[in-house]
Amino acid sequence: MTTTESTTLLDRVTVAPETGRPIPDAATREIIGHAPVHTVTDLDAAVAAARAAQPAWAALGHEERSRILHAIADEIEANAEELAVLLSREQGKPLDGPNARFEVGASAAWVRNAADTAIETEVVFEDGPARSELHYEALGVVGAIGPWNWPMMITVWQIAPALRMGNAVVVKPSEYTPLSVLALASVFNRHLPADVLTVVSGDREVGAAIAAHPGVDKIMFTGSTATGRRIVESSANNLARLTLELGGNDPGIVLPDTDVSAIAENLFWGAFINTGQTCAALKRLYVHESVYDEVVDALAELARVIPMGRGLEEGNVLGPLQNEQQFGIVARLVDDARSRGARVVSGGEPAPELGPLFYRATVVADIEDGAALVDEEQFGPVIPVVKYTDVDDAIARANASSQGLGASVWSNDPEAAVEVARRVQAGTVWINQHGAVNPNVPFGGTKASGYGHEFGVHGLKAVSSPKVISR
């Protein structure tokens, strides 16, 4: 069943202004709805209900849970345009390009993958009649704390595997994008038993309470490294298992004599996907002196011509910063780079004619490590391009960050690129692309970018309790 004009998904999840928190359109700042303001008391009730509902959900077995997940994926697809429009308004990403419609489609695809991925009993020892098997069972209640940049897709990454393995889930969305997650959950709940999936739309106090809650068995968190550290501390109270996908100041290395025309578009989207608001986006680019000027010029030209504007206007593929805080961070980092003598080749300023939080796609050249724009995660439509002469030096610079989520190597020579990739410290290193994820391929960070893996069999195991049966 799809929603009708009189009962839209937004109608279903928004509350009265006097009882809710206003949520603005990211592009225009007009209020599009009011999110519920849940409290720690609401969280306690949601966790208790989830614990009561979980055993029956687990007892359905893999086949029935997978059937239900496929029905949910069908429902997402049936409501895809309405979900995409809400997402575009609340988060800011345009409908077109690798943005809102893409995110909704990916959400359905990841639900199907969670349903279809096989997880087999593993025989870990066998000697005559002696046999030890490793089984994977539901943990109980999973607490999912999501971000504002890809609110639907990342929430699906958290909840679909958890549901498949027989867990109940309590979701805490970002305060910036709660309506998208509430709408997505309402689609899920057309097919799930009561209380198996609940959204608690609260503030940071609620998020902190989930991490420390005695009724929560697993925490999945995507967000900043600083918040991740606090979650680790809070989880000491209940020894909840953790999967943390934290910040990433992802480096890219362009090797000597690379064909720039062949990689320019992939380079651009590696940095500017979702207007740069992606944890695993390309954040700092090291380019060999032999192709440096050509890379800078190619990126700057794309930055000038790629359409930016309000997400509901067809044709735009870059949008605004999602919130005032992030807009301020981006502006500060670019201004600091300019004050250090860096060359702003394109952009470098707000675009107020488009809306309050638009910042032009920006390419910054002639900048070095030590500048805040290189050393900090900008999380916006800006890429600093750093010249190098020695590949070993570029690798050392790439590895100097405390973070290690993703990285990329760019070259005409795949073997040379792989040799460099093996030396770069990151959870994923892409060759001639950056940020591409696959539901079958494990994804996770190293160093201060977190720990634990999502996707595929690894993702199912991460939301399971391993049990050894020996005989």
Q: What is the mean pLDDT of residues 396-409?
A: 97
Would you say residue 438 lies in a domain?
no
Report which of 220, 286, 219 is spatially closest to residue 249, judged by C-alpha positions. 286
Is the pLDDT assigned to residue 2 strictly greater than 70? no
Q: Which of 77, 279, 377, 454 is catalytic?
A: 279
Amino acid at 363: V
Of the pLDDT bands very low, low, confident and very high (cuts 50, 70, 90), residue 4 is very low
What is the 3-state secondary structure of the chain? CCCECCECHHHHHCCCCCCEEEEECCCCCCEEEEEECCCHHHHHHHHHHHHHHHHHHHHCHHHHHHHHHHHHHHHHHHCHHHHHHHHHHHHCCCCCCCCHHHHHHHHHHHHHHHHHCCCCCEEEEEECCEEEEEEEEECCEEEEECCCCCHHHHHHHHHHHHHHCCCEEEEECCCCCHHHHHHHHHHHCCCCCCCCEEECCCCHHHHHHHHHCCCCCEEEEECCHHHHHHHHHHHCCCCCEEEEECCCCEEEEECCCCCHHHHHHHHHHHHHHHHHCCCCCEEEEEEECCCHHHHHHHHHHHHHHCCECCCCCCCCCECCCCCHHHHHHHHHHHHHHHHCCCEEEECCCECCCCCCCCECCEEEECCCECEHHHHCCCCCCEEEEEEECCHHHHHHHHHCCCEECEEEEECCCHHHHHHHHCCCCCCEEEECCCCCCCCCCCECCEECCEECCECHHHHHHHCEEEEEEEC
Is the pLDDT assigned to residue 245 strictly greater than 90? yes
pLDDT at residue number 7: 80
Claim to verify: residue 277 and residue 229 sit in the same structural domain: no
Q: Residue 233's domain spans which residues? A: 9-246+449-470
Would you say residue 437 lies in a domain?
no
Residue 218 neighbours by CB under 8 Å, 6+ apart: 139, 140, 141, 142, 143, 162, 167, 240, 241, 242, 243, 463
pLDDT at residue number 5: 44
451, β-bridge pairs? 244
Of the pLDDT bands very low, low, confident and very high (cuts 50, 70, 90), residue 6 is low
d(C-alpha 184, C-alpha 180), whole Å? 6
CB 34 within 8 A of CB 147: no
d(C-alpha 129, C-alpha 28), whole Å? 70
Tokens of 325: 């805080």
Claim to verify: residue 149 and residue 293 sit in the same structural domain: no
Would you say residue 39 lies in a domain?
yes
Tens digits of residue pLDDT in 165-220: 999 999 999 999 999 999 999 999 999 999 999 999 999 899 999 999 999 999 99
d(C-alpha 91, C-alpha 380), whole Å? 13
Q: What is the mean pLDDT of residues 304-315?
A: 97
Tens digits of residue pLDDT in 118-134: 999 999 999 999 999 99
Claim to verify: residue 163 and residue 37 sit in the same structural domain: yes
Claim to verify: residue 216 and residue 270 sit in the same structural domain: no
Claim to verify: residue 200 and residue 303 sit in the same structural domain: no
Q: What is the mean pLDDT of residues 53-64?
A: 98
Return the CATH number at 369: 3.40.309.10
Claim to verify: residue 13 and residue 38 sit in the same structural domain: yes
d(C-alpha 8, C-alpha 353), whole Å? 31
In the sheet that 168-172 helps form, which strands lie side by side, from edge to edge?
197-199, 168-172, 141-145, 218-222, 241-245, 450-451
Is the pLDDT assigned to residue 414 strictly greater than 50? yes
Claim to verify: residue 273 and residue 241 sit in the same structural domain: no
d(C-alpha 19, C-alpha 36), whole Å? 7
Share of the chain above pLDDT 70, in %: 99
Q: How many domains does the chain have?
A: 2
Claim to verify: residue 410 and residue 455 sit in the same structural domain: no
Report which of 85, 90, 152, 111 is spatially closest to residue 323, judged by C-alpha positions. 90
Mark whether 279 is an active-site residue.
yes
Output the CA torsion 126→132→138→140 (10° steps): -160
Would you say residue 2 lies in a domain?
no
Claim to verify: residue 462 and residue 384 sit in the same structural domain: no
Q: What is the mean pLDDT of residues 420-447?
A: 98
d(C-alpha 382, C-alpha 284), whole Å? 9
Q: Which of 75, 245, 377, 454 is catalytic?
A: 245
Would you say residue 442 lies in a domain?
no
pLDDT at residue number 101: 98
pLDDT at residue number 123: 96
- Measured on CA atoms in the order 419, 300, 358, 12, is the torsion positive or negative? negative
Count of beta carbons in the 10 Å neighbourhood of residue 192: 20
CB 307 within 8 A of CB 315: yes
Claim to verify: residue 242 and residue 258 sit in the same structural domain: no
Claim to verify: residue 278 and residue 209 sit in the same structural domain: no
d(C-alpha 84, C-alpha 9), whole Å? 11
Claim to verify: residue 116 and residue 241 sit in the same structural domain: yes
Would you say residue 1 lies in a domain?
no
pLDDT at residue number 237: 85
| Alpha-carbon distances of 419 from 72, 411, 424, rounded to whole Å | 42, 11, 9
Strands 446-447 and 282-288: unpaired
